[in-house]
Amino acid sequence: MYIVTGGAGFIGANIVKALNERGHRDVLVVDNLEKADKFKNLTDCEVADYLDKREFIAWLAQGRRKFKAIFHEGACSDTMEHNGAYMMSNNYEYSKQLLHVCQERRIPFLYASSAAVYGAGKVFREERDHESPLNVYGYSKFLFDQYVRRLWSKRTAQIAGFRYFNVYGDRESHKNRMASVAFHHFNQYLEHGKVKLFEGCDGYGDGGQKRDFISVEDAVAVNLFFLDNPKKGGIFNVGTGRAQPFNDVAVATVNSLRQAEGKSALTLADMCREKILEYTAFPDALRGKYQSFTQADVGALRRIGYKKPFLTVEQGVGRYVQKLLARRKQI
């Protein structure tokens, strides 16, 4: 049996689907469905069982079932969540409990970290000198990475942590405001015929802030690489190694939708001139807490043997838009 915490969530549900595609149906999904819409992420997946997150630790303690690995994707990922006690309990203490169970039973533990650990830094390398989170979400992920580092020399089984950069792709609609820019642009364009981005900040022009945008397809592929290589472990950036402006995401989304409509592609200048792309004031609530630039240093990931090329924004968003359109037709 494979266990996927956060298995009804964005990356977790994609991992469940990928395991199914490998022929694995003995998958236990652990999640909290108080926000019930997440169940839709699993309707095309095959799972052996579902367990509420709050019952999971007690279930593990009973030790009745053997399992092959835990994919720990369950976390509160809302960077605007201000309840630090909740964030540390949900993201830090819970992760520690699962890690210790896996170490006691010598089971691989593959877990979600975040590029938020780097804060406003300009170097995104898996080293302590470059880690300084801007919010309590980033701090919860950073502190668990630190905990893993302290335990590293005493590990009994594989531990692999993945510092996800800006992940976008299928099965994220339940994330609402925390869903990717590509998802919001898809819906904005279909509803209003236009998309919106923030005005410039931190020295960047309108829509010019740059992030390392990575398709969920690639994020899942990295997880499966480590599942297939249980002797490899560590803490790794999961990004493309390319920083692209938010404007690129807007252009890729709009042009993918225009292509589906049989229309020709437009340039960024065309979209601005025709008011298909508009810029809104940068929110005061995000000032000082916003990463205007991220770019994963993927050197460690490449050195450990992950060779697969990553999708560009244009490639990944194009594939994502096709999936979103296909899902709309099914409704």
Parallel, antiparallel, or unpaired: how do β-strands 166-168 and 159-164 relate? unpaired
3-state secondary structure of 104: helix
Catalytic residue selected from 175, 194, 232, 289? 175
Query: What is d(CA 119, CA 100) in angstroms, rounded to the nearest whole number?
Result: 28
Catalytic residue selected from 111, 118, 137, 189? 137
The reply to whether 137 belongs to the active site is yes
The reply to whether 94 belongs to the active site is no
> Any long-range contacts for 39-44 (C-beta under 8 Å, 24+ apart)?
39/8, 40/173, 40/174, 41/8, 41/9, 41/10, 41/13, 41/171, 41/174, 42/7, 42/8, 42/13, 42/16, 44/17
In sequence order, which residues have a C-beta less than 8 Å from that of residue 141 and are 6 or more positions away? 75, 91, 113, 114, 116, 117, 133, 163
Which residues lie across from 72 on neighbouring strands? 5, 111
Query: What is d(CA 305, CA 325) in angstroms, rounded to the nearest whole number?
Result: 35
Query: What is d(CA 217, CA 6) in angstroms, rounded to the nearest whole number?
Result: 17
Q: Which helix (H) or strand (E) holds 192?
A: helix 181-192
Residues composing the chain = 331
Conformational region of residue 169, where left means phi above 0, alpha means psi within -120 to 50, and beta covers everything else: left
Evaluate whether 5 touches 53 at the Cβ level (below 8 Å).
Answer: yes
Query: What is d(CA 88, CA 227) in angstroms, rounded to the nearest whole number?
Result: 27
Active site residues: 137, 175
